[in-house]
Amino acid sequence: AQSVTQLDSHVSVSEGTPVLLRCNYSSSYSPSLFWYVQHPNKGLQLLLKYTSAATLVKGINGFEAEFKKSETSFHLTKPSAHMSDAAEYFCVVSDRDSGTYKYIFGTGTRLKVLA
């Protein structure tokens, strides 16, 4: 069965320093992978997606992620954190199980950005 593991429940970085949010996945098929962001009291916003095209995916707000099949990883990075990046980030795998594609969410990583 497919699953997603977000290795860190909390990450703190200083403003202007790089961000790394880690995600490993398990999938029986060729998965699609997504990163979503949730700001406080807001909905889930799509940051970026991997759907078997380029392995390095660029998203909104300067985020990018690299799909590494050999490591079953899809880590999210940003060169320089901004205060507005403080939020909860979810790694998601979309995989075919019983005939439909449904999302399996990771447990989330709360990013804190320090001034």
Partner 1 sequence: EPEVTQTPSHQVTQMGQEVILRCVPISNHLYFYWYRQILGQKVEFLVSFYNNEISEKSEIFDDQFSVERPDGSNFTLKIRSTKLEDSAMYFCASSEAGGRRDGYTFGSGTRLTVV
d(CA 55, CA 58): 10
**SS3 helix, strand, coil % of the chain, rounded to 5?**
5, 55, 40
According to CB under 8 A, which one of 17, 107, 112, 114 is a site residue for partner 1?
107
Going by their DSSP bridges, the two strands 32-38 and 44-50 should be labelled as antiparallel
Residue closer to partner 1, measured from CB, 12 or 51: 51
29, β-bridge pairs: none
- Of 34 and 85, nearer to partner 1 (C-beta) is 34
Decide if residue 89 touches partner 1 (CB under 8 A): no
From residue 25 to residue 64, what is the string marking binding to partner 1 with x (rule CB under 8 A)? Answer: -------x-x-x-----xxxxx--x-x-------------
15-34: b (≥16 Cβ within 10 Å) or e: eeeebebbbbbebeeebbbb
User: Is residue 101 part of the contact set for partner 1 (CB under 8 A)?
Assistant: yes
Which residue from 1, 70, 98, 115 is in contact with partner 1, where contact means CB under 8 A? 98
| Contact residues for partner 1, defined by CB under 8 A | 32, 34, 36, 42-46, 49, 51, 90, 94, 96, 98-108
